[in-house]
Amino acid sequence: MTVFVLVPGAWLGAWAWKKTVPLLEKEGHSVYPVTLTGMGERVHLASKDLGMETAIQDVLNVVKYNGIDEFVLVGHSFAGKVAAAVADRAHESIKKLIYLDAFRPEKVTSPQGMLDPTLEFGPLPPGVFAIPLTEEIVGHIGSDVKGQNLRWMMSNATPWPVKLANDPITLSKDFDRVKSAYIFCTKSGDPVDEIVAGKWGKLEGPYKVMDTGHWPMITEPDELVEDLLILSG
């Protein structure tokens, strides 16, 4: 039996794993989907000062207060940055860190991961501190999210506090001990062929490629679970 801690990316909450959790549990595994502060059902806590340290503590507290000793940590999208920082601090408890179409840090001890989503999604209006999810964004990086899935996703998505993207993380040498694996999605806009060929940096572990957009937990949960189980071993 494996314990999975699932960290969703921008605009999402624990709700995004609704199709994934029962499939993993059916196979006898324990699953803890996380909602980061400021998104999902915790959107009421969003603020302009909400940053990475809060997100990191969100995940660490799920581990601490559920008494989890060994687990597979899955970080989706920008939350690859969150998951990496958590894995660094909880390296003795991490069985495997799986990046799901996610930010992948370098194994350096200097600050990294200072992302600027306004370059892709446009500048924020004055006084606005979070980027809303639009159907245009979904069509660009997740065109396979359609029909009922699209309506469900758009009705639950919450704005992404931009400081979560802007804040860097600083990893220690302990991160070198963390075992990694990767899932890449061919329809999310990244050059997957180049990535797996090592042109964008060396991959530190096994990988799977899914012919999906950026949200396979919504569009292809069965295939995603199959890949997670293979990579978690």
* Predicted local distance difference test score (pLDDT) of residue 122: 87
Instruction: Report the number of distinct structural domains present in the chain.
Output: 1
Tell me what the mean pLDDT of segment 204-208 comes to: 96
16: exposed, middle or buried (Cβ count in 10 Å: 0-12, 13-18, 19+) = buried
* Predicted local distance difference test score (pLDDT) of residue 21: 98
Both tokens assigned to 162: 């931009």
* Predicted local distance difference test score (pLDDT) of residue 133: 97
Tell me, what DSSP letter sits at residue 37? T
186: exposed, middle or buried (Cβ count in 10 Å: 0-12, 13-18, 19+) = middle
Full domain range(s) for residue 174 = 3-231
* Predicted local distance difference test score (pLDDT) of residue 201: 84
* Predicted local distance difference test score (pLDDT) of residue 228: 98
Say if CB 8 and CB 79 are below 8 A apart.
Answer: yes
Tell me what the mean pLDDT of segment 200-217 comes to: 95
Residues 6+ apart with CB under 8 A from 49: 163
pTM of the model as a whole: 0.97
| Percent of the chain whose pLDDT exceeds 70 | 100
225: pLDDT strictly greater than 90? yes
Please report, for the domain that includes residue 116, its CATH number. 3.40.50.1820
Question: How far apart, in Å, are the Cα atoms of 167 and each of 111, 115, 116?
Answer: 9, 8, 10
Tell me what the mean pLDDT of segment 220-227 comes to: 98
232: pLDDT strictly greater than 90? yes
* Predicted local distance difference test score (pLDDT) of residue 11: 98
Q: How many CB atoms lie within 10 A of CB 232?
A: 19
**In whole angstroms, what is the distance from residue 204 CA to residue 63 CA?**
24
Q: What is the pLDDT of residues 129-171, one digit of tens each?
A: 999 999 999 999 999 999 999 999 999 999 999 999 999 999 9
Q: What is the pLDDT of residues 34-82, one digit of tens each?
A: 999 999 999 999 999 999 999 999 999 999 999 999 999 999 999 999 9
| CA 96 to chain CA centroid, nearest Å | 14
* Predicted local distance difference test score (pLDDT) of residue 219: 98
Indicate the average pLDDT of the chain.
97
One DSSP character per residue, 42-57 reads GGGG--TT--HHHHHH
Of 190, 126, 124, give the one whose Cα is nearest residue 162.
124
Tell me what the mean pLDDT of segment 100-115 comes to: 96
- For residue 200, name the pLDDT band (cuts at 50, 70, 90): confident
| Percent of the chain whose pLDDT exceeds 90 | 94
Residue 16 one-letter amino acid: A
| C-alpha torsion 186→188→189→193, nearest 10 | -20
